[in-house]
Structure 1
């Protein structure tokens, strides 16, 4: 799904300002900026009888020398002509705007590109190369870091429409016992790289009692810092929705190493099998049962989860993939397109359960088509007889979405558990 901006002045509020300014009255403009300062942008207006769509108007206040402002919703526009995505102006004012009708249940992120070159993107690499020139919306106080560290975060602006699904499990609750998290680093002999590993044990963890279920999560640093995943597990355990898990949060050293090691990389699988999992079992009271072991991640992490389970179903019996990169390897590779999907298609059915999801906005980006390739993987798994929980949520390739939907994917493995009665 992609969204095209409204070509005409669709916002009643902006139309009111434009009419007042044309009549020589600038008080409506002043009132708008005062409202934005108090409540933030973008504007959201219900202008149709059908409340499934909301008119969203993005704003820019021109400090001077603005030539254009490009709204980058989820990903860069891919149809070549970028001019139709740039903001319009109210003549004689500092007000720039662009309106979209968007699903009222949408949660996503966006950026602005001020004085953009408007050169069409010719590849996904081109999109990534231009990202550092984009900026969060200075009129929107709701922002979100998607990667980086405390000193150097990459910040995007958050857009949450009125009917966006709640994310109550990510918020710490009074009276819920908290588990304990220990962070460490691990040097891999197999890979020759260093790995950050965080292990979260549930409240009341007993090293000598019954063994614990395992959840291995790639890009763990991001899920830990920006998705409150340990709080999620504590809350779900408190209500009886899941068994007690030992959560293993794995993170690569940097983005370059991540891009090499996560996408179907045999030595990374060997690192998990021969170094990380033995270390975990030596230091924590965890199960060896693959049916009680979950491996998951997003983007390359979702691809990696499906890959390592295919290689070692005796270790990993449950896979969570959030917007997995099943298009891999892409251009300039000797491997065939959608390589991992083809492996599942040609292999005997393995004892693995899947929980897959992708955002409705994840259309083609340059040479990649995440939605089509994700559906192809889903269809192959179903044809081969795998149990698959599948969802297409309203949003993009966004941790702001994954942080909430991760709950649904994990719960799909525990449909037999009834919520506990809490007071």
Structure 2
């Protein structure tokens, strides 16, 4: 089965997702560093890394497959132990979607020398993943071995921090800093702005976030914060409006498409997506667009309101979309109105084009939680003008399988011709959601004359 990024319209049968047991199998290669580097070379690695003369993480390309399969690489991650007085007893790599709670040894580093620990994974050459490194010192088993259930194990394995050796830092939903690995064949991200982790955040990168606030005002000159009463859900909701370059000076005269983005606080506060939009528009990769970032506020509210059409989707259709169209210079036709989100937000994006096709004519559903509800019957009746793109990570097993099952059920239907599916070499991960959303917007609304 093909693991590299693909995009296809499903007139033909969709690809199958291989079952990998209880979660994604961690592709660890034992003893790899010792087979490639001499003891003297291993001893010299810390100095080579400190000098900046060595690309990191270490990547060794595998021979090109002869069967048409994906190109693979060996990715080696290192940890240099600087605390001689209390040396590390165990080190674990918390790579997105690859910590198997039933086989933790597959994510643990090996001690290559007195100060140096290493782990090597065999991954697709276009793998994109966020990760953290957690170190256990002192007596007794590591916390991730003491935890009793899957979530507690994942939290314990993720409690450390970004890789000190890797300058590529991003963030997750709650603003926690993470390191990012991008394989040599991963798509370039020239317009993506650097993420801004939450200052002083402690603890795991997994989980949600607290109530949104207006402190993002002033960070971007054309990003405005609005605190509105959500009449449908019966609570206040933060909404941010991004206006494209030229709108503040009067240069932008023609109405633009409108993009609606779920989980707005993360995109605005931590992912610097307004700057990314500026970059893509100024580079003529994306036509000027307005973007409405709609906050989901908290994990409990998000889980209640996003997966059901009567929740946030109804609020968008009945209140927030009319509000944006009345107050900003945007087009009011469905072909110019795109809704997007990830996870439950991806499911909500699909619900929007199913329930309100007269309002939303395009959707980009990233890692949609189709395991939560079967939408295959409704998707067979997808309105003929609606365009839907579904993206899923190969390593997010449950979601990838549910997406494949849904597409399989649509095989041969008229709506299948208007549904694109992109399988990404990654997990349930903001590390690829952000760049792939920017690319999807450029495909939906390409700049004229580029």
TM-score normalised according to structure 1 size? 0.79
Q: Are the counterparts in 1 of residues 260 and 340 from structure 2 also a CA contact under 8 Å?
A: yes
Counterpart for residue 66 of structure 1: 88
Counterpart for residue 408 of structure 1: 439
Unaligned runs of 5+ residues in structure 1 are 21-27, 173-177, 329-337, 364-368
Mapped pair 1:46 → 2:68: no
Q: Are the counterparts in 2 of residues 179 and 203 from structure 1 also a CA contact under 8 Å?
A: no
Counterpart for residue 334 of structure 1: none
Which residue among 340, 358, 367 is the counterpart of 2:392? Answer: 358
Unaligned runs of 5+ residues in structure 2 are 4-24, 66-70, 137-141, 195-219
Which residue among 273, 277, 297 is the counterpart of 1:229? Answer: 273
Alpha-carbon spacing, 1:322–1:114, altered in 2? closer, same or farther (3 Å): same
Q: Are the counterparts in 1 of residues 228 and 237 from structure 2 also a CA contact under 8 Å?
A: yes
Q: Distance in 2 between matches of 1:98 and 1:80?
A: 18
Deviations 1:72-93 (A, max 9, x none): 22124337222233222236x1
Mapped pair 1:313 → 2:357: yes
Mapped pair 1:344 → 2:379: yes
1:263-412 alignment to 2 at 5 Å?
A: 263-328=307-372, 338-345=373-380, 347=381, 349=383, 351-363=385-397, 369-381=398-410, 383-386=412-415, 387-412=418-443
Counterpart for residue 155 of structure 1: 177
Q: Distance in 1 between matches of 2:153 and 2:251?
A: 48
Q: Distance in 1 between matches of 2:274 and 2:260?
A: 12
Alpha-carbon spacing, 1:10–1:381, altered in 2? closer, same or farther (3 Å): same
Counterpart for residue 88 of structure 1: 110
Q: Distance in 1 between matches of 2:288 and 2:62?
A: 47
- 1:124, CA displacement in angstroms? 6.1
Q: Distance in 1 between matches of 2:412 and 2:135?
A: 47
- 1:303, CA displacement in angstroms? 1.0
Moved more, 292-301 or 101-110: 101-110
- 1:289, CA displacement in angstroms? 1.1
Q: Distance in 2 between matches of 1:74 and 1:97?
A: 18
Counterpart for residue 46 of structure 2: 33
Q: Are the counterparts in 2 of residues 382 and 388 from structure 1 also a CA contact under 8 Å?
A: no
TM-score normalised according to structure 2 size? 0.75
Q: Distance in 2 between matches of 1:128 and 1:86?
A: 13
Which residue among 245, 258, 262 is the counterpart of 1:214? Answer: 258
Which residue among 226, 244, 247 is the counterpart of 1:184? Answer: 226
Q: Are the counterparts in 1 of residues 101 and 153 from structure 2 also a CA contact under 8 Å?
A: no
Mapped pair 1:105 → 2:126: yes
Counterpart for residue 6 of structure 1: 29
Q: Are the counterparts in 2 of residues 322 and 357 from structure 1 also a CA contact under 8 Å?
A: yes
SS in structure 1 of the partner of residue 341 of structure 2:
strand
Alpha-carbon spacing, 1:99–1:239, altered in 2? closer, same or farther (3 Å): closer
Counterpart for residue 305 of structure 2: 261
1:189-204 alignment to 2 at 5 Å?
A: 189-204=231-246
Q: Are the counterparts in 2 of residues 227 and 400 from structure 1 also a CA contact under 8 Å?
A: no
Q: Are the counterparts in 2 of residues 362 and 397 from structure 1 also a CA contact under 8 Å?
A: yes
Q: Distance in 2 between matches of 1:207 and 1:129?
A: 49
Q: Distance in 1 between matches of 2:309 and 2:182?
A: 36
- 1:341, CA displacement in angstroms? 3.6
- 1:254, CA displacement in angstroms? 2.6
Q: Distance in 1 between matches of 2:193 and 2:106?
A: 39
Q: Distance in 2 between matches of 1:229 and 1:374?
A: 26
SS in structure 1 of the partner of residue 191 of structure 2:
helix
Which structure carries more relative contact order (alpha carbon 8 Å, separation 6+)?
Answer: 2
